[in-house]
């Protein structure tokens, strides 16, 4: 930008979830994430009731601004927003000085995601509430690693299953001359240089995410973060998700051998995804210093102990990774890749008993009041 401000976040790389409502869409294949959201519904409610301070002048409101960062296409984002709205109403109902206005509250809801997210499907499937005219919804395109809202404008922010997406794969793992040049498509946590490169990228991106939210949230505003990380000391490669990523890579290597794609393409493919260790995540939030960590805890994912079916794993990963794979390899490879993946998985299923557990976390941050 001419005035020295950062380049628009609209231009950053983006790997949207599968849009539409077809058989491979995110809408139909995000039960895992939906279950996660469901599992913290009560905790989120309790946390908002306890931490939203209506006594401060900023929250003596008749209209609230709520944002979901990395919303995708629903229906998960709708569940999240509904829970937040219900809780704010309840909070007003319980509060003596605000009791009377709980029926007149209005909500401005912002659905944020990258600009090539399928916002059309999101809008077409919006729940009834926007017709009732108490909730006013809009889409906000742009990368959440930069600011997408004016300063001091949001009351409650939320993000789920999004911040393991990096702004890009770390530069070093993409550079053939670097020690971190690798054969894997992910950070397995086995090679120190690769791990360091991913850690550095995560720190930079997550730091930028937190800083942007610190600017956008009003003092006393709340930020809910739900997602996946690794318990300290656990390597990605030992978790079932790490095993699945390696299997996807093996299929790509096979496809290169069959001439469907090239070895160079496979070698230069790096997932811009990183699951930090719990303490790493905490450190980045603390380093920012603009928030108090009100809650940061492990929450059991409802499917954690389930032996997920091969079909479930295949369709979930297809809906999640189709964008990033298509961007690198072109559209023609998706069917072939996931056919091969399904066959490989049937032949050699994930041994859930052998895998170590990853960790689902729930975080509630409160913007400090200076």
Q: Which residues contact 143 (CB under 8 A, 6 or more apart)?
A: 9, 10, 12, 14, 114, 167
Cβ atoms 239, 233 nearer than 8 A: no
Using CB under 6 A as the binding rule, whether residue 113 contacts ligand SAH is answered as yes
How many of the chain's residues bind ligand SAH (CB under 6 A)? 21
Q: How far is the CB of 323 from ligand SAH (least distance, A)?
A: 7
The correct pick among 25, 77, 186, 261 for binding ligand SAH (CB under 6 A) is 77
Is 25 or 30 the residue whose CB approaches ligand SAH more closely? 30
Sole window of 154-162, 259-267, 324-332, 345-353 interacting with ligand SAH (rule: CB under 6 A): 154-162
Q: Is 356 helix (H, G, I), strand (E, B) or coil?
A: strand
Among residue numbers 133 through 152, which ones bind ligand SAH (CB under 6 A)?
143-145
Using CB under 6 A as the binding rule, whether residue 29 contacts ligand SAH is answered as no
- DSSP string of 79-119? HHHHHHHHHHHHHHHH-TTTGGGGGG-EEEEEEEE-TTS-H
The upper half-sphere exposure of residue 10, i.e. CA atoms within 13 Å in the direction of its Cβ, equals: 5
The correct pick among 162, 186, 261, 360 for binding ligand SAH (CB under 6 A) is 162
The correct pick among 19, 27, 29, 30 for binding ligand SAH (CB under 6 A) is 30
Sole window of 111-119, 124-132, 193-201, 325-333 interacting with ligand SAH (rule: CB under 6 A): 111-119
Q: Which residues contact 171 (CB under 8 A, 6 or more apart)?
A: 197
Q: How far is the CB of 36 from ligand SAH (least distance, A)?
A: 7
Using CB under 6 A as the binding rule, whether residue 52 contacts ligand SAH is answered as no
Using CB under 6 A as the binding rule, whether residue 201 contacts ligand SAH is answered as no
Using CB under 6 A as the binding rule, whether residue 118 contacts ligand SAH is answered as no
Is 34 or 199 the residue whose CB approaches ligand SAH more closely? 34
Q: How far is the CB of 114 from ligand SAH (least distance, A)?
A: 5
Q: Is 137 helix (H, G, I), strand (E, B) or coil?
A: strand
Is 54 or 325 the residue whose CB approaches ligand SAH more closely? 325
Q: What's the CA gap between 75 and 28, in Å, rounded? A: 9
Cis before 139 (ω within 30) = no
DSSP 8-state symbol, 230: B
User: Of 91, 93, 216, 81, which Cα lies nearest the Cα of 135?
Assistant: 81
User: Of 319, 231, 312, 323, which Cα lies nearest the Cα of 272?
Assistant: 323
Using CB under 6 A as the binding rule, whether residue 169 contacts ligand SAH is answered as no
The correct pick among 25, 52, 59, 70 for binding ligand SAH (CB under 6 A) is 70
The token duo for 95 is 């509060």
Q: What's the CA gap between 193 and 183, in Å, rounded? A: 13
Using CB under 6 A as the binding rule, whether residue 160 contacts ligand SAH is answered as yes
Using CB under 6 A as the binding rule, whether residue 76 contacts ligand SAH is answered as yes
Q: How far is the CB of 348 from ligand SAH (least distance, A)?
A: 27
Cβ atoms 220, 367 nearer than 8 A: yes
Question: What does the binding site for ligand SAH look like in residue numbers (CB under 6 A)?
Answer: 16-17, 30, 33, 70-72, 76-77, 112-114, 117, 143-145, 160-162, 165, 167
């Amino acid at each position: 930008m001419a005035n020295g401000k950062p380049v628009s976040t609209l231009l950053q790389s983006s790997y949207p979830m599968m849009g539409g409502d077809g058989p491979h869409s995110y809408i139909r294949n995000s039960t895992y994430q939906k279950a996660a959201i469901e599992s913290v519904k009560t905790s989120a409610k309790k946390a908002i009731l306890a931490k939203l301070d209506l006594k401060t002048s900023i929250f003596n409101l008749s209209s609230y601004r709520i944002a979901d960062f990395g919303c995708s296409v629903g229906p998960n984002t709708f569940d999240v927003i509904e829970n937040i709205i219900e809780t704010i109403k309840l909070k007003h109902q319980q509060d003596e000085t605000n009791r009377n206005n709980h029926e007149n509250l209005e909500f401005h809801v912002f659905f944020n995601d990258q600009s090539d997210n399928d916002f059309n499907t999101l809008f077409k499937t919006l729940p009834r509430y926007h017709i009732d005219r108490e909730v006013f919804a809009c889409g906000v395109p742009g990368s959440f690693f930069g600011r997408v809202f004016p300063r001091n404008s949001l009351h409650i922010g939320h993000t789920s299953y999004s911040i393991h997406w990096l702004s890009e794969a770390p530069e070093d793992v993409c550079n053939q001359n670097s020690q971190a040049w690798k054969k894997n498509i992910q950070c397995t946590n086995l090679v120190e240089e690769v791990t360091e490169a991913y850690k550095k990228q995560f720190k930079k991106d997550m730091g930028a995410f937190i800083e942007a939210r610190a600017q956008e949230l009003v003092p006393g505003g709340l930020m809910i973060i739900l997602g996946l990380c690794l318990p300290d000391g656990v390597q990605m490669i030992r978790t079932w998700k790490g095993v699945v990523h390696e299997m996807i890579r093996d299929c790509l290597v096979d496809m290169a051998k069959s001439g469907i794609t090239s070895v160079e393409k496979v070698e230069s493919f790096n997932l811009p995804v990183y699951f930090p260790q719990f303490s790493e995540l905490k450190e980045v939030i603390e380093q920012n210093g603009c928030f108090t960590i009100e809650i940061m805890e492990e929450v059991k994912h409802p499917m954690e102990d389930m032996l997920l079916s091969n079909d479930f794993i295949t369709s979930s990963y297809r809906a999640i990774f189709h964008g990033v794979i298509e961007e690198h390899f072109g559209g023609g490879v998706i069917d072939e890749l996931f056919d091969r993946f399904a066959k490989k998985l049937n032949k050699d299923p994930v041994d859930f008993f052998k895998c170590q557990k990853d960790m689902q976390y729930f975080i509630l941050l409160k913007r400090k009041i200076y």
